A and B are shown apart, each in its own frame.
Chain A
Amino acid sequence: MMRYLAGRVLRAILTIFLVITFAFFVLHLSGDPAMMILSVDAPPESIKAFREAWGLDRPVWVQFLAYIGHALQGDLGNSMRDGRPAAQLVFERVPATLAITLPAFALKLLIGIPAGIYAALHRNSWADRLTMMISVAGFTVPSFVLALVLVLVFSVQLGWLPSAGSDRATSAILPIVTLGIAGAAILARFTRSAMLEVLGQPYIRAASAKGLQWRTVVVEHALPNAAIPTTTIVGFMVGTLIAGAVVVESVFAWPGIGRLLVSAVSNRDLAVVQAILLLVAATMVTSNIVVDAIYGWLDPRLRRGGARAR
């Protein structure tokens, strides 16, 4: 087991390495930070000075090796904009982002999963059709449109909630709801199809033939099996806790990681962008490992590998 875990962690580190390598080269080849930060019509001497100060005059691969070397020592570089350590800038924003993504995540689970189960158990009923209609609407409407609609209704028309910012306690409500609705819609749809798939399996009929009450069949036999595919999508949602709110944070001017990312990218603030990507990749990869572990726990067929030939 230890060797298995070690292998997984090694692969995870490799994934993270690939992500930051790719991002590094794309960012370095796609625009000049000096121009962005100093403005295009800055005198050539100041641009040259800026480049020398940040080492941008060296060949890209030298910059890359230097970056990796520092990163391995825990130094992710400094922001080109205000000179503060990039890691610090990023970590300052984490609580704000989690303040909306965690409640939104809870909302997704609490609405999405029960709705999906209910719809599957009452397939083709009006409740099922309604749930699926809302669900389709929920994930086909882009989140900025949903955000604007919510703002229009609850801020502009009713005046109940603030339309942007983070100064009041109620400011978080609209971002949370926006994120939560879209996620709940996806989860409901996914849970429903997982549940329908399981309900069509022979062991469900066999469990009924045994004399079990339908409720018991659903709780004991259908749900544990439907949980297996549903875990995948929930795990994916865990992975987006850090990075999944870029659009919503921008729309609501919420001071989280997403907004930091948008401004850092447009400024070519390389160290900050890299630091954010590193954090995002790390959460994604970690949640993947956790999902795999949960899989093994939920599905005994995966526990002991493919020992049986044929």
Chain B
Amino acid sequence: MTALLEVSDLSRAYEVRRGSWPFGKMATLHAVDGVSFELQAGRTLGLVGESGCGKTTTAKLVLGLVPVTGGEVRIDGESLPAAGTQPWRALRRRMQMVYQDPLGALDRRLSVGRQVMEPLAIHGLGGRLAEHREKAMAMMDAVGLAAHHFDRFPHELSGGQRQRIVLARALILDPQLLVCDEPISALDVSIQAQVVNLLLALQQRLGLAYLFISHDLRMIRQVSHEVAVMYLGRIVEQGDPDRLFAAPAHPYTQALVSAIPTHARQKRRRTVLPGEPPNPVDRPAGCAFHPRCRHAVARCRVETPQLRVLADGRRAACHLVEQIVASAA
């Protein structure tokens, strides 16, 4: 079966100047470097990692919002057309994006209903206004907004309700894929659960696929069928979320999981990772994680580890992963 979304060896590099203009040498920043994954219809892939790891760039590449410098994005087996072209626009109907800041994604001067209907007009979908209105009402109902919200303005609603507007607007075109970039990070804890449950219910009902990006490991586990952990532009570990977070294999995932404060793990020893992620321009040679890794050996400094399938089916990019897993068990 062809995957809905197939990403192979995706790369995006930027030429940046180190130092102030017109001095400083040009350098290459590998924001995303050889990322591959597949996403089936109706499933969720969680992309997790810290700021600067390339997860948001990956999302933009998938939608064609940023041109790739290497690799390929395939939708239903078809290569993603160049951004701005007619085929791309047609395809964009099937792939929508949800951002972190709903207020920034909405137009303050347009009523909620108008914004929800807007995509229908943008994509030149025929039908009379009354039909659009009816469709918008139905969509708003599906995301838990009331009919009286139709004529309200975004600033009159709460953060959670605004994110529902964004969702309704994205869903009105009947997309198959929703790319969610930190969709709940700006919301309060009690509201986050509302939106997450809504996303899960919509997936059940509409068979949506989600590319779900977050720095919140707990939320990622809650929503994902599969999860990919990124560090400095590459996937370092990928697999079933329950197993991956319960027993992380890659040293970076181990540190990331151990860094999450939870009451259940209160008494457990934590591995505090030394140092900070380097500037992506200065990505270390070999395994990019080696300067912060307590297991690193000479090989890690020269040879970049590729993602390999481990015994339990998950994949990790680490030369020493078998030994590390064995010693942890």
Contacts and interface: CB of A to CB of B under 8 A. Distances in A.
Answer yes or no: A and B touching, Cβ < 8 Å: yes
Interface of A: 3-4, 7, 304-310
Contacts of A310: 51-52, 279-280
A4 B22 contact: yes
A3 B21 CA distance: 10
A309 B280 contact: yes
B16 A305 contact: no
B284 to A, nearest CB: 15
A308 to B, nearest CB: 7
B275 interface: no
A307 B18 CA distance: 5
Contacts of A304: 19-20
28 contacts: A3-B22, A3-B23, A4-B20, A4-B22, A4-B23, A7-B22, A304-B19, A304-B20, A305-B17, A305-B19, A305-B20, A305-B21, A305-B23, A305-B24, A306-B17, A306-B20, A307-B18, A307-B19, A307-B20, A307-B24, A308-B279, A309-B16, A309-B29, A309-B279, A309-B280, A310-B51, A310-B52, A310-B280
B103 interface: no
A306 B24 CA distance: 10
Given A307-B18, A309-B280, 4 more contacts: A7-B22, A305-B24, A306-B17, A309-B279
Contacts of A4: 20, 22-23
B281 interface: yes
A308 B24 CA distance: 12
Interface string B36-64: 00000000000000011000000000000
Contacts of B20: 4, 304-307
Contacts of A306: 17, 20
A107 to B, nearest CB: 37
Nearest to A3: B22
Interface of B: 16-24, 29, 51-52, 279-281
Contacts, number: 30
Contacts of B17: 305-306
A7 B21 CA distance: 10
Interface of A is mostly: loop
Contacts of A309: 16, 29, 279-281
Contacts of A305: 17, 19-21, 23-24
A306 B20 CA distance: 6
Contacts of A7: 22
Contacts of B51: 310
Contacts of B280: 309-310
A7 B20 CA distance: 13
Contacts of B24: 305, 307
Contacts of B19: 304-305, 307
Nearest to B52: A310
Nearest to B16: A309
B108 to A, nearest CB: 22
Contacts of A308: 279
A296 to B, nearest CB: 10
A99 to B, nearest CB: 41
A6 to B, nearest CB: 10
Contacts of B52: 310
The 5 closest A-B pairs by CB, nearest first: A305-B20, A309-B281, A307-B19, A309-B279, A309-B16
A7 B22 CA distance: 9
A154 to B, nearest CB: 50
Q: Which of A7, A304, A308, A310 has the most B CB atoms < 10 Å from its CB?
A: A310
A279 B149 CA distance: 61
A306 B17 CA distance: 8
A36 to B, nearest CB: 47
B23 to A, nearest CB: 7
B151 to A, nearest CB: 34
Nearest to B21: A305
A309 B26 CA distance: 12
Nearest to A308: B279
Nearest to A305: B20
Q: Which of A3, A304, A306 has the most B CB atoms < 10 Å from its CB?
A: A306
A221 to B, nearest CB: 26
A7 B51 CA distance: 36
A66 B24 CA distance: 42
B24 to A, nearest CB: 7
Nearest to A303: B20
A147 B147 CA distance: 61
A178 to B, nearest CB: 42
Contacts of B18: 307
A309 B17 CA distance: 9
Contacts of B279: 308-310
A156 B277 CA distance: 75
A125 to B, nearest CB: 30
Contacts of B21: 305
A309 B22 CA distance: 16
A310 B281 CA distance: 10
A143 to B, nearest CB: 37
B207 to A, nearest CB: 37
B230 to A, nearest CB: 15
